[in-house]
């Protein structure tokens, strides 16, 4: 649900919006987080082809990506740290989902 749809629903229901229930949209994040997600999407996925385990993103070429999307050199270290956090969360989610889908033997 978008923010707009949430506010419309509240208006129709005659209720006040609750801060915790307002959906977060990409534009609500700070610029650095938006940049980190942009860089993250450009990185290549790495998989263990034997086990099917997701290994995370390959950080090869990240310096070139940071420069191509014109991230200030003074911010690059922070952006890389955010990308690593995003990658850790996504890797855990992907592998947890794969494990729960795995048939019992």
Question: Would you say residue 24 lies in a domain?
Answer: no
Residue 21 lies in a domain: no
Say if residue 56's pLDDT is above 70. yes
- Its domain, for residue 47, covers 29-101
Single pTM value for the model:
0.78
Count: domains in the chain: 1
In a domain, 52, yes or no: yes
Nearest to 55 by CA among 70, 45, 67: 45
For every residue of 16-85, DSSP letters joined together read ---GGGSPP-GGGS-HHHHHHHHHHHHSPEEE-TTT--EEEE--TTHHHHHHHTT--TTTHHHHHHHHHH
In a domain, 15, yes or no: no
Q: Count CA within 13 A, CB hemisphere, residue 90.
A: 15
Flag whether 17 is in a domain: no
Assigned domain for 94 exists = yes
Q: What is the pLDDT of residue 103?
A: 67
The residue whose two tokens read 């994040």 is 29
Asked whether residue 14 is domain-assigned, the answer is: no
The predicted model gives 30-40 an average pLDDT of 96
């Amino acid at each position: 649900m978008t923010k707009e749809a949430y506010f419309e629903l509240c208006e129709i229901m005659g209720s006040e919006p609750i801060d915790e229930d307002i959906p977060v949209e990409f534009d609500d994040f700070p610029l650095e987080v938006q940049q980190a997600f942009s860089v993250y999407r450009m990185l290549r996925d790495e998989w263990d082809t034997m086990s099917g385990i997701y290994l995370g993103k390959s950080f090869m070429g990240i310096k070139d990506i940071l420069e191509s999307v014109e991230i200030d050199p003074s911010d690059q270290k922070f952006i890389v740290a955010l990308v690593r956090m995003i990658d850790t969360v996504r890797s855990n989610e992907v592998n947890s989902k794969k494990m729960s889908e795995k048939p019992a033997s």
